Amino acid sequence: MTTTTNVKSGLGLSDGVVSELATYWNVLPGHEDELRAATERFADTLRQVPVEKNIHTGLRDQRHVIFDNGQRLMWATTFENEWDPYFDDFVLIGIDHFLDWMQHTTQGAAVSEWVESSGGVEKFSQENPDVQAHVQRTVGGLKKIVQSVQSPATGYFNNLNAWTMPQILKAQRLQEAFQQVLDDPGAAEALQHPALKPLLEQAAD
Amino acid sequence: MTMDTDTSLELGDIQAAALMPRPNPYAGAYLALRIDDRRAGRELLRRLIPLLEPVASFDPGRPVSLGVGLSYAGLQAIGVPAASLASFPAEFQQGMAARAAYLGDVGESAPQNWEKPLGSNDVHLMVAALARDTSLMETLVMLAQDAIRDLPGVTPVWRLDVHVPPDGREQFGFKDSISQPTVEGTGILGSNPHEAPLKAGEFVLGYQDETGDVAPIPQPDVLGRNGTYVAFRKLHQRVAAFRQYLHRNAADEAEAEWLAGKFVGRWPSGAPLALAPDKDDPDLGADPARNNAFMYGDDPRGLKCPVGAHARRMNARDAVITGQVRLHRMIRRGTNYGPSLPPGVLDDDGADRGLMFAFVGAHLDRQFEFVQRQWVNDGKFIGAPAERDPLIGMQDGGEFTIPSRPIRRRLRGLPDFVVNRGGEYCFMPGLRALRWLAELDT
């Protein structure tokens, strides 16, 4: 397991191909219920993103936890990829989705200020043909805010640390194809070729 | 040979029927009673208590077993104070019918289809009477019926007669009730010498369990200590459908028996696939010293016993699964009801036949309910999320994988072979608790 902590770059701990990023925000007084709803919407949004797009962002999982009697918020993610391109691409799912929950934190004011100074919400819209370049030019400000509330894990373990999401999805596609082969009555004969011995050894279960 | 007993376990207070294996062969009856008058209910308990034996005085050579339990509604009916009632776990308070969706009792197994009055608030007190033969059983049942004679405030509301069939097997044709855990401190030997004894607190309230803790017990202490919980279910078995499915998927009788064995994890004789992977071994099946003396650690892929087979799901032993097996062990009792479908008959004759299943344990939630939900009606724990217990799971056209060389078999379109006709959660008090209940003056 690599242990890399670099406050300036915002890196958390890594385990194999997976890294973690956990951030701790302050909830605006009286905003707990709205924050809770916004975090549910955020998870729903991610759930509707096609898996290939989520792979593009490198995101493995994320969660929000409201704690300390509704006063604090943890936002934790794990991701593959490098921190910088990960964050750039993650933001491209739509800045409004981030604003939706960030606005209920005390850090939300700084986020709003960054959005305005970056040309406004419209500039981050998917309708803007230049949105990708715009994000790359301006996202440093948001990264700075996120880094300011980030604490790297002191210990991190991921059971699937050796495999990236593309590898897992490729394995699943191969598995589905292999099971189709095994369902064919001719499978036993077809797999007798010496070159297919590794497959035959996996065919029994 | 018996184990040393732990003198701290109050074997003189625990109902023998909770921990001792049932007689074999057996004939018996389950009786459900409704308590309409709490004083009559208490008088009933006073009459039943002298008929009950504790573990300490149970004689395995004596061929009778009588056990008494009360549902939450029964405890209410007999006048247990509200504070005591509130100290019972939530799932017991709710009752099995209210837990139906959680347990997978849906469709034909849903409570609205249960045999009345099962699932209603009329099932208050359950009596389980088992004996080694019919005439002894009838004597036992008569004793129980004598106990309710002249008690107008107690009404029998349901009865199920159970009996071992001539071939000694359950309705699907398999030898049953082979596997029993060893319970530490009881002197009762289990049937697997490779399994370390389980902490008494897994099966009796008031003692250390496998988590190292003593779980909260119903209050007051005199009520909860030495008691246990029973989940009983009347399971209708679709024997004809089972046979039809096997024959549709097999080339001949031998293959049909092979498939059946793979479903169950044992051959019809009781011989475990783990020790006899290719064909039945009746001598092994008949030998109590050997027929449960095995583990699964040398068979991780399930080439001997499929990882999703019924017996392996009920007790995964040392197999690599998600979950700690020792936290979810169960004492399971099964008794046949209804006529047997004659061998070779594939058409359903419409008779109600099946198994009266009873779970005994100190934790309804992490023993019975966990196994039912996670290991019977789900397959994630073995890496097969699409598969359920092939014998008793709620299938809805599911599939079952039989590892086999060179190519695995994958069966599809499994129907439900078992339907729950009803059940309930009961609390089986210790003898001192029964006397406390009988002496209530609320």
Q: Where are the domains of chain A?
A: 14-148, 165-201
Distance from CA of B375 to the nearest CA of A (A): 19
- Starting at the edge strand found earlier in the chain, the sheet holding A59-67 runs A14-15, A18-26, A72-79, A59-67
The chain-wide mean pLDDT, for chain A, equals 88
CA A127 to chain centroid: 23
Distance from CA of B401 to the nearest CA of A (A): 7
Asked whether the predicted pLDDT for residue A97 surpasses 80, the reply is: yes
Closest CA to B235 of B30, B18, B2, B5: B30
**B302 contacts on A by Cβ (under 8 Å):** 205
B374-395 burial code (b ≥16 CB/10 A, e <16) = bbbbbbebbebeebbbbbbbbb
Cβ atoms B357, B425 nearer than 8 A: no
Q: Which of residues 88-117 of A touch B (CB under 8 A)?
A: none
Whether residue A205 and residue B406 make contact (CB cut-off 8 A), yes or no, is no
State the DSSP string of B291-314.
Answer: TT---STT-TT-SSS-TTSHHHHH
**A178 contacts on B by Cβ (under 8 Å):** none
Distances (CA, A) of A77 to A39, A59, A152, B77: 13, 7, 11, 53
Distance from CA of B262 to the nearest CA of A (A): 13
Domain residue ranges of chain B, discontinuous segments joined by +: 16-168+180-235+423-438, 238-421
DSSP A23: E
Condensed to tens digits (0 to 9), the pLDDT of residues B111-123 reads: 999 999 999 999 9
Instruction: Give the confidence band of B62 by pLDDT, cuts at 50, 70, 90.
Output: confident
* Tokens standing for residue A123: 């500039």
State the DSSP string of B141-189.
Answer: HHHHHHHHTT-TTEEEEEEEEEE--TT-B-TTS-B-----PPBTTS---
Neighbours of A142 (CB within 10 A): 21
A182-186, B189-193, B258-262: least confidently modelled range = B189-193
3 state DSSP class of B266: strand
Global pTM? 0.87
ipTM score of complex? 0.71
State the DSSP string of B313-343.
Answer: HH--TTS--SS-GGGS--EEEEEEESPPPPT
Residue percentage of chain B with pLDDT more than 70: 98
pLDDT of residue A70: 97
Cβ atoms B396, B215 nearer than 8 A: no
Of residues A179, A183, A191, nearest to B406 (C-beta): A191
Asked whether the predicted pLDDT for residue B61 surpasses 80, the reply is: no
* Tokens standing for residue B429: 């008090």
DSSP A6: B
Closest CA to B260 of B169, B337, B339, B167: B169
Asked whether the predicted pLDDT for residue B226 surpasses 80, the reply is: yes
Give backbone dihedrals phi and psi of B337, rounded to 5 degrees, phi first.
-135, 155
Whether residue B401 and residue A183 make contact (CB cut-off 8 A), yes or no, is no
Instruction: Give the confidence band of B435 by pLDDT, cuts at 50, 70, 90.
Output: very high
Distance from CA of A205 to the nearest CA of B (A): 4
Condensed to tens digits (0 to 9), the pLDDT of residues B100-113 reads: 999 999 999 999 99
SS3 content of chain B, % helix, strand, coil (to 5): 30, 20, 50
A124 or A7: which leads in pLDDT: A124
The C-alpha atoms of residue A78 and residue A53 are separated, in whole angstroms, by 16
Q: Which of residues 166-195 of A touch B (CB under 8 A)?
A: 179, 182-183, 187-188, 191
Q: Say if B303 is an interface residue toward chain A (CB within 8 Å).
A: yes
Q: Which class is domain A14-148? A: alpha beta
Asked whether the predicted pLDDT for residue A12 surpasses 90, the reply is: no
pLDDT of residue A54: 75
B57-61, B259-263, B271-275: least confidently modelled range = B57-61
